[in-house]
Amino acid sequence: MGSRWRDGWVKVNPLQTGFFRVNYSEEDWQRLVPPIESLELHATDRLGVQNDAYALSKAGLLPVTQFLSLAQAYQNEDDPSVWSDLASNLRDIEQLICEEPIHSAYQSFARGIFGPAARKLAGIQSQEKAIWTPYSDPLFEPGGVILTPT
């Protein structure tokens, strides 16, 4: 867990023990995708990686597309704290673009991230058997959205 050079990736600030943001090179952000997808990286570090990416994007220090690309790695996420923080960050972006023509595409993008976990939580197997609705649950912040059975 934490920092690791084997397999070509390294997570700086393991277990988020320091009070600072970490900005990686584009290649190093991409190297963190496999350990995030496989849940090899500790949940605290998975939370920290996406939160750093979002904060850096918000500050104009990282393209928001880099954060959104990284966010796709969280489809297998199983930790409620990570989901809650990621959902909050994605909702912040959605609020900025809710009146823009790309809003529906963004919602589809978010469904792609949250869909697998939401279907697993709801005990359903396919997108066709689910709808995207507001849902309040300890796993997600109030007002968040997940897939629920129809």
Q: Mind giving me the DSSP string for 89-145?
A: HHHHHHHHHTTSTTHHHHHHHHHHHHHHHHHHHHT---GGGEEEEE--BTTB-TT-E
- Regions of the chain with pLDDT less than 70: 1-7, 121-150
pLDDT at residue 51, as a whole number: 98
Residues linked to residue 137 through DSSP beta bridges, in sequence order: 140
How far apart CA 2 and CA 9 sit, in angstroms, is 10
Instruction: For residue 70, give Cα distances in angstroms to 14, 52, 57, 123, 126.
Output: 18, 11, 12, 26, 24
Asked if residue 2 lies in contact with residue 42, where contact means CB atoms within 8 angstroms, the answer is yes
Give Cβ neighbours of residue 65 (< 8 Å, ≥ 6 apart).
none
User: What is the rounded radius of gyration, in angstroms, for the C-alpha atoms of the chain?
Assistant: 15
Q: Give the orientation angle of helix 103-122 with respect to helix 80-97, to 10 degrees.
A: 160
pLDDT at residue 85, as a whole number: 96
pLDDT at residue 116, as a whole number: 83
How far apart CA 70 and CA 51 sit, in angstroms, is 11
